[in-house]
Amino acid sequence: MKKITVRENGSSTISENMRNHLNVIKPDVVFNLGDYRIEGKAVMERTRKLKDLRGVFQDKTAFGSEDPERVVYSVQSCRPVSEGKEGGLFFGTSAIMPGKIGDEYLMTKGHFHQKSDRAEFYWGVQGTGILILMDRKRNTWAEEVYPGSLHYIAGEIAHRLANTGAAKLIVGACWPSDAGHNYDEIAIHGFSARLVERNGKPELVASSE
181 binds ligand PAN (CB under 6 A): yes
Comparison of 157 and 196: residue with beta carbon closer to ligand PAN: 157
Closest CA to 29 of 80, 81, 75: 80
Comparison of 111 and 194: residue with beta carbon closer to ligand PAN: 111
Report the alpha-carbon distance of residue 87 to residue 4 in Å, rounded: 19
Buried b (16+ CB within 10 A) or exposed e, 141-161: ebbebeeebebebeeebbbbb
Q: What residue 75 binds from Zn ion, ligand PAN, none (CB within 5 to 8 A, per partner kind)?
A: ligand PAN
Q: Report whether 192 contacts 207 (CB < 8 A).
A: yes
Question: How wide is the angle at C-alpha 1 spanned by C-alphas 167 and 64, nearest 5°?
Answer: 55
Report the alpha-carbon distance of residue 166 to residue 169 in Å, rounded: 9
Report the alpha-carbon distance of residue 204 to residue 197 in Å, rounded: 9
Per-residue contact string for residues 120-159; x = within reach of Zn ion by CB under 5 A: x---------------------------------------
Site for ligand PAN in 111-140 (CB under 6 A): 111, 120
Per-residue contact string for residues 72-111; x = within reach of ligand PAN by CB under 6 A: ---x----------------x-x-------------xxxx
Site for ligand PAN in 20-59 (CB under 6 A): none
Buried b (16+ CB within 10 A) or exposed e, 22-41: eeeeeebeebeeeebebeeb
Span near Zn ion by CB under 5 A; candidates 8-16, 40-48, 93-101, 112-120: 112-120
Q: What residue 92 binds from Zn ion, ligand PAN, none (CB within 5 to 8 A, per partner kind)?
A: ligand PAN
Per-residue contact string for residues 139-168; x = within reach of ligand PAN by CB under 6 A: --------------------x-x-------
Buried b (16+ CB within 10 A) or exposed e, 97-129: ebebbebbbbbbbbbbbeebebebebbbbbbbb
177 binds ligand PAN (CB under 6 A): no
**Interacting residues toward ligand PAN by CB under 6 A:** 75, 92, 94, 108-111, 120, 159, 161, 173, 175, 179, 181
